[in-house]
Amino acid sequence: MTSTSEPRDIRTELEQLTTEAFRPELADIDRLSTLDLATLMNREDSGVPGAVARALPAIAAAIDAIAARMARGGRLIYAGAGTAGRLGVLDASECPPTFNTDPAQVVGLIAGGPGAMVTSVEGAEDSPQLARADLDALALTGDDTVVGISASGRTPYALGAVAHARALGALTVGLACNPHSALAAAAEHGIEVVVGPELLTGSTRLKAGTAQKLVLNMLSTITMIRLGKTYGNLMVDVRASNEKLRARSRRIVALATGAADDEIEAALAATDGEVKNAVLTLLAGVDGPTAARLLEESRGHLRAALAAAPH
C-alpha cells in the first residue's frame, strides 16, 4: 500500500538504487549473536576500499582540478544533506588545524544549516533553492570548487548546489555511491564509489558513508599536498592551537631537520611558532624574515623555498 506522504515516483526511484536494495539473505540478522553481527558488519565494510580503488582515476582527476583552482585562491566547498553533509562539514573543519588553512578556504555546507549537524531538518535535502541560497551567501567565484555529496546521487540539495555552481563557472565534483547517478552526470568530475546494498536496507551512513569519508580524505589531503602544505609526509603547516599540537610541531621540526631540542626551540621562537618557517631556517641556515620571504616567493612550497635559498 502506497503511503500518502511518499509519492510513488520517489519510491520507484529508490527501489532502483543499489544503495537502497533489499537483501533477503540478511532478513534474520536480528537473530544473530552480537559477535556474529559484528563479524558480518566488518566483512561488509572490508569491500569499501576496493570500491574506492575502482574510482581512483576519477578521484585523481578531480584533485588535480581542485588544486589548480585553489592555487589561484579558490575555495573548496562541500555541499550535502544528512550524513553526506555532516561528512563534508567534518572534513572542512579538520583542515585549519591540520593544514593551517583559513576557515573560509575549505567550507562544508549542510542542508538546513549548522543545526542540521545534530538534528534532522525536515525537507531541507529536498530543496535545490536552499543550496543556491547557501552558495550565494558565499559569493561563489570561478576559482572555487563545489563538491556535491549524495549517497543516492539524486538528493535535490546536492544536485542544486552543483547545477548552480556550474552555472556560475565554478568547478564542480559530484560524489555518489550509485552508478549512472544524476549527480555525477551533472558535475564536470563525477566520482561514483559503488559499495552495493547496505547491511540495513537504505542506511547509507554505513558503507556509503565510509566510502564518502575515504574519498573526502583524499580530496582534501592530496589537494593540500599539491599546494605545498606538507614536506614529505610531515604536516609542516600544522597549526599549534593546543599543547598536543605544540608538542607535535616540535616533533615535526625534529623529524624534518634532525636538529637538537634547543635549536628547535630557538627556530620556532624566531618564526613565531610557524613549523614550515622553522624547518627552513634550520635546513637553509637563514633567519626568520628570510625564511618568510622565501616561502612567500615559493607560494608556500618548502622544497621550492629550500632550492631558492642562498647556499
Active site (catalytic) residues: 94, 125
Q: In terms of Cα–Cα distance, which of 3, 21, 19 is closest to 82?
A: 19
Pairing verdict, β 189-192 and 76-80? unpaired
Count how many residues are written for the chain.
311
CA pseudo-torsion sign 126, 132, 133, 135? positive
Amino acid, res. 212: Q
| SS (HEC) of 123-179 | CHHHCHHHHHHHHHCCCCCCCCEEEEEECCCCCHHHHHHHHHHHHCCCEEEEEECCC
CA dihedral 216, 147, 68, 166 (to 10 degrees): 170
Amino acid, res. 204: T
- Output the nine-digit C-alpha cell for 7: 509519492
